[in-house]
Structure 1
């Protein structure tokens, strides 16, 4: 029997969209976007995080000013309920994806247990 694992993956993508975790995340994101200032802060924070990650991936260390800047922005983000709600929902979907990853990789884990 030939299995096209990508068909299963595509079905899983469709199924993920039907989960409560995805619905909660989508609603939290849409709610957050309703406030332009909150959405702008969120996008700025995301961009700064990505810039720092890219620096670290290339072996560069962020400057003290960059670290201070992201810490200050993180403090602002922590004070915004809509962003905190979104992050809570992200943790829920991350847990679901982690659980799925454990199921998917079970054959490999079992292979190396011998």
Structure 2
């Protein structure tokens, strides 16, 4: 049975890659990659995000000036049309994947819920 689940997961991966949402996201990344200003803003924003994420995951203190720097980087990124489009498409793709995960988790959630109801 688990082999069947992996096969379905691989089919899902192919479907995601073929989806219009993913194709639009891919095109948006290419547009940013080929625009020097947009790419520089993107890499700066991503680096700032990654540093804050690492600090958050390790429990390190995030200083107010780091938050301010991240907010400024985000503002600059959002002001660039290509990056703004990319972020919107990333958000849409993220929502699709979250919905898929929620669907996949339904059997476990129902099992846990039924277990708790029998107590």
TM-score after normalising by structure 2: 0.87
Which residue of structure 2 aligns with residue 48 of structure 1?
Answer: 48
Which residue of structure 1 aligns with residue 88 of structure 2?
Answer: 88
Q: Distance in 1 between matches of 2:14 and 2:40?
A: 30
Q: Residue 7 of structure 1: CA displacement? A: 2.1
Residue 99 (str. 1) matches residue 99 (str. 2) = yes
Which residue of structure 2 aligns with residue 13 of structure 1?
Answer: 13
Q: Distance in 1 between matches of 2:59 and 2:96?
A: 31
Q: Distance in 1 between matches of 2:36 and 2:9?
A: 35
Q: Residue 113 of structure 1: CA displacement? A: 2.3
Q: Distance in 2 between matches of 1:64 and 1:102?
A: 35
Residue 61 (str. 1) matches residue 65 (str. 2) = no
Structure 2 residue runs of 5 or longer lacking an equivalent are: 115-119
TM-score after normalising by structure 1: 0.91
Structure 1 residue runs of 5 or longer lacking an equivalent are: none
- Number of residue pairs matched by the alignment: 113
Q: Distance in 2 between matches of 1:93 and 1:66?
A: 28
Which residue of structure 1 aligns with residue 32 of structure 2?
Answer: 32
